């Protein structure tokens, strides 16, 4: 499936391909890939660069929040607030792409809970503002419901803080805390990217890492389908709007798109792209299956992804009030998850089990 532009892919839009052109894999031999090649691609060429991008955006967010707190009143403060909001959106988007398949340090450090706890607890945020914690040690004593990306979203949109106020000081500490976590995750992914997955002493670790990846890939689909989309829709009653993630910042559609793109990127590649040489790039799962001669299953996986592409694109057009479009997307995500659990995981000799991240 050919993606015409990054923005189109981020929206989950279906890509267009020249009529009659055969996919590259039908014209050029797909190399054989083993677990080592898969993990090299996942960690060195996918997760590590994403973590570094998240670290950069989180650092920019902490700087923008600090600048907001030091801004003078009036137009300067309004401009600084908009810059901080833009930086928050960028950081949240980078995080959603990275955490779509939460592996390695994200799981080990329980980063999802630490910086993306939901729902936001305004009373706890207000209490933390009164305490005015400063520095990493003090922020460790603040409960997760009062910090992280959702808390900062609340301080930037729901209850926009003013420069030189306790609320702004606390918001800056929250942003610094996010930046510290992003730096720690990026450093650990960089170390993991240097792992010699083929070494004899890494045999058990590589088997476990591949199993974790496949399980978290499946878990990521379910988190997007249920926690982020279907559960809020079902919970809404009467005329009350669903409480989707990122609603305060009006970033719900962008969040869904970034998460889907994060899942999609490890699942399929562009039909026009040549299969990567082993160990040189990310090997999406459909390509990995083709390298093992599992073309029929890879085709089924590609088709299931195309259905989600189409339904997620319709969600982007319909918006968060497009109930029918959202319901169709959740059905297509459920079908993709079922295929992943029932056929793809067994083909990869991976058992699907409960994850520490389930329900976060």
> What's 337's domain CATH number?
1.20.1420.20
Q: Which residues contact 212 (CB under 8 A, 6 or more apart)?
A: 103, 104, 107
- Helix and strand numbers (H, E) in the chain are 18, 0
Average pLDDT score, the chain: 91
In terms of Cβ atoms closer than 10 Å to its own Cβ (0-12, 13-18, 19+), residue 310 is middle
**Residue 357 scores a pLDDT above 60:** no
**Torsions phi, psi for 183 (to 5 deg):** -65, -40
Q: Which pair of structure tokens corresponds to residue 145?
A: 């419901």
Residue 332 lies in a domain: yes
Distance, in Å, from the CA atom of 19 to the CA atom of 258, rounded to the nearest integer, reads: 28
**Among 23-32, 145-154, 253-262, where is mean pLDDT lowest?**
23-32
**Residue 70 scores a pLDDT above 80:** yes
Distances (CA, A) of 201 to 104, 189, 197, 204: 18, 20, 9, 7
**Residue 15 scores a pLDDT above 70:** no
Please give the residue range of the domain that contains residue 48. Answer: 6-347
Residue where the block lists tokens 């839009």: 13
Residue 206 lies in a domain: yes
Whether 220 contacts 102, CB under 8 Å: yes
The number of folded domains in the chain is 1
Residue 303 lies in a domain: yes
Whether 94 contacts 113, CB under 8 Å: no
Distance, in Å, from the CA atom of 24 to the CA atom of 273, rounded to the nearest integer, reads: 6
Residue 248 lies in a domain: yes
Whether 278 contacts 37, CB under 8 Å: yes
Residue 19: band (very low, low, confident or very high) from pLDDT cuts 50, 70, 90: very low
In sign, the C-alpha dihedral spanning 293, 294, 295, 298 is negative
Distance, in Å, from the CA atom of 23 to the CA atom of 272, rounded to the nearest integer, reads: 6
Distance, in Å, from the CA atom of 44 to the CA atom of 281, rounded to the nearest integer, reads: 8
Distance, in Å, from the CA atom of 100 to the CA atom of 263, rounded to the nearest integer, reads: 6
Residue 353 lies in a domain: no
Element containing residue 97 per DSSP (H, E): helix 75-99
- Mean pLDDT calculated for residue range 203-227: 97
- DSSP label at residue 275: P
Task: List the one residue out of 43, 294, 103, 100 whose CA is nearest residue 286.
Answer: 294
pLDDT reported for residue 238: 73
**Residue 41 scores a pLDDT above 90:** yes
Furthest-apart CA atoms within the chain: distance in Å: 65
- Mean pLDDT calculated for residue range 73-78: 86
pLDDT reported for residue 22: 64
**Residue 139 scores a pLDDT above 60:** yes
- Mean pLDDT calculated for residue range 191-212: 94
Q: Which pair of structure tokens corresponds to residue 264?
A: 């999609």
**Residue 67 scores a pLDDT above 60:** yes
Please give the model's pTM, rounded to 2 decimal places.
0.90
pLDDT tens digit string along 223-279? Answer: 999 999 999 999 987 778 899 999 999 999 999 999 999 999 999 998 788 999 999
**Residue 287 scores a pLDDT above 80:** yes
**Residue 181 scores a pLDDT above 90:** yes
**Residue 7 scores a pLDDT above 80:** no
Q: What is the rounded (10 degree) CA torsion for 139, 90, 250, 332? A: -110
pLDDT reported for residue 178: 98
pLDDT reported for residue 8: 40
**Residue 152 scores a pLDDT above 60:** yes
Whether 114 contacts 102, CB under 8 Å: no
pLDDT reported for residue 26: 66
**Residue 176 scores a pLDDT above 90:** yes
Q: Which pair of structure tokens corresponds to residue 278?
A: 């082993």
**Residue 58 scores a pLDDT above 70:** yes
Task: List the one residue out of 295, 223, 296 whose CA is nearest residue 260.
Answer: 223
Residue 247 lies in a domain: yes
pLDDT reported for residue 24: 64
Distance, in Å, from the CA atom of 229 to the CA atom of 123, rounded to the nearest integer, reads: 26
Residue 356 lies in a domain: no
Residue 359: band (very low, low, confident or very high) from pLDDT cuts 50, 70, 90: very low
Residue 272 lies in a domain: yes
């Amino acid at each position: 499936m050919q993606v015409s532009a990054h923005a189109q892919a981020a929206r989950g839009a279906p890509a267009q391909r020249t009529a009659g052109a055969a996919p590259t894999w039908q014209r050029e031999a797909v190399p054989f890939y083993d677990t080592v090649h898969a993990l090299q691609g996942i960690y060195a060429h996918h997760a590590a660069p994403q973590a570094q991008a998240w670290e950069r955006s989180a650092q920019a967010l902490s700087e923008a929040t600090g600048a907001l707190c030091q801004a003078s009143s009036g137009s300067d403060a309004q401009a600084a607030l908009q810059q901080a909001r833009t930086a928050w959106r960028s950081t949240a988007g980078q995080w959603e792409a990275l955490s779509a398949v939460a592996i390695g340090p994200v799981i080990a450090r329980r980063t999802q809970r630490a910086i993306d706890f939901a729902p936001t607890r305004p009373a706890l945020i207000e209490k933390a503002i009164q305490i005015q914690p400063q520095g990493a040690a003090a922020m460790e004593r603040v409960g997760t419901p009062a910090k992280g990306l959702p808390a900062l979203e609340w301080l930037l949109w729901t209850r926009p803080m003013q420069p030189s106020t306790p609320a702004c000081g606390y918001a800056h500490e929250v942003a610094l805390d996010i930046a510290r976590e992003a730096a720690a995750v990026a450093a650990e992914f960089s170390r993991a990217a240097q792992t010699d997955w083929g070494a004899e002493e890494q045999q058990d670790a590589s088997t476990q890492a591949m199993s974790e990846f496949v399980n978290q890939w499946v878990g990521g689909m379910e988190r997007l389908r249920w926690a982020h989309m279907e559960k809020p829709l079902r919970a809404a009653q009467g005329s009350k709007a669903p409480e989707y993630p990122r609603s305060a910042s009006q970033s719900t559609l962008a969040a869904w798109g970034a998460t889907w793109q994060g899942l999609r990127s490890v699942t399929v590649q562009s039909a026009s792209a040549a299969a990567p040489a082993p160990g040189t790039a990310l090997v999406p799962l459909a390509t990995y299956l083709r390298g093992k001669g599992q073309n029929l299953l890879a085709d089924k996986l590609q088709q299931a992804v195309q259905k989600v592409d189409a339904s997620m694109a319709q969600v982007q057009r319909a918006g968060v009030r497009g109930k029918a479009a959202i319901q169709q997307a959740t059905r297509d995500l459920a079908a993709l998850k079922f295929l992943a659990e029932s056929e793809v995981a067994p083909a990869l000799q991976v058992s699907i089990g409960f994850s520490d991240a389930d329900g976060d």
